[in-house]
Amino acid sequence: DIQMTQSPSSLSASVGDRVTITCRASQRITNFLNWYQHKPGKAPKFLIYAASNLQSGVPSRFSGSGSGTDFTLTISGLQPEDFATYYCQQGYTSPYTFGQGTRLEIK
């Protein structure tokens, strides 16, 4: 299975900050990389597909980049509703696997 490693595992930031979360795959996955946001008790939300494509309705302060094995999710200008846990997921090959998550907390 392809292992997905996110860093950091947790992050403290303030409203208005710019934050970057990194995701690394254990082998090359071209751009088959997706990002999700999850808040406790809520349905996870699909943010970005194919590494850099914003899902419809997702605010433009979210952006993704990367290819091969290294990927990033950037949130520019944090809003109060952005504090959540973020997961990357590879869709290159089955079984599809997720990173362990990055918990974004309010400083």
Q: Which residues here bind another protein, judged by CB under 8 A?
A: 32, 34, 36, 41-46, 49, 55, 87, 89, 91-92, 94-101
Q: How far is CA 23 from CA 3, 30, 82, in A?
A: 10, 13, 18
Distance between CA atoms of residues 85 and 97, nearest Å: 16
Task: Name the one residue in this structure whose structure tokens are 């599809």.
Answer: 96
Distance between CA atoms of residues 99 and 27, nearest Å: 14
Residue 25 Cβ vs another protein, minimum distance, rounded to whole Å = 13
Closer residue to another protein, CB minimum distance, 13 or 46: 46
Closer residue to another protein, CB minimum distance, 63 or 96: 96
Residue 91 Cβ vs another protein, minimum distance, rounded to whole Å = 3
